Amino acid sequence: MSSLKEKKKKLREEYKRRRDAFVGQLDTASRNLSFRRPPSPLSRLIKQDQTVAIYRSVGSEAPTTRLIEYLTEIGASIALPRVTEDGHLDFRLVSGADILVTGFRNIPEPDESCALADPDMIIAPLVAFDRSLRRLGQGGGHYDRSFGKHPDVPRIGLAWSVQEADEIPTEPHDVTLHMIVTECEIIE
């Protein structure tokens, strides 16, 4: 394994521990109030008729349930990620009636019968980030490949402030974000 890949692996382990510890000490009310509504700079980017690709949070990831509810309330279409058999990520339109199935890494995802979506915005999870809008994901490259397929679509990272690193090492395939939203601030 290259030293860069090893460095990224160690960063993932460290920042997952930090995230878990941070979220573990939050009371339920504080956790539920975080990320409830998008901050003004993000809400200005969201239009009623847009399709917003957003992840369904798992574990200690920045929560998305309330944000998905907000997007639905304003009339945006919601698309959730689905990992395909060939390891790529596509986005599928979902509604409240759609049933999610257990997918890649036991993450709930839309059934393949849900229509494919062409997102107008992608809100992505991350393990760590830096002030240069670099994102460290889970390590599969799924989101980076999706960003490459949709180069003109705004890429927003959602994270807890404790996930900020001094510097995220990058490889040629890594794609930077346009904005990162934490419970404390917006980084553009």
pLDDT value at position 38?
Answer: 83
As to burial, measured by CB atoms within 10 angstroms (0-12 exposed, 13-18 middle, 19+ buried), residue 176 is: middle
pLDDT value at position 1?
Answer: 52
CA separation for the pair 2, 14 (Å, rounded): 18
High-pLDDT (> 90) share of the chain, %: 60
Domain with 61 in it: 3-187
pLDDT value at position 41?
Answer: 83
Q: List, for residues 94-152, the tens digit of each pLDDT value.
A: 986 556 766 676 677 888 889 999 999 999 999 999 999 999 998 877 899 899 899 99
Token pair for residue 83? 């990992």
- The domain that holds 132 is classified in CATH as 3.40.50.10420
**Unique residue bearing structure tokens 């679509």:** 153
pTM: 0.91
**Unique residue bearing structure tokens 């980076």:** 144
Q: List, for residues 52-85, the tens digit of each pLDDT value.
A: 999 988 899 999 988 999 999 999 999 999 988 8
- Report the number of distinct structural domains present in the chain: 1
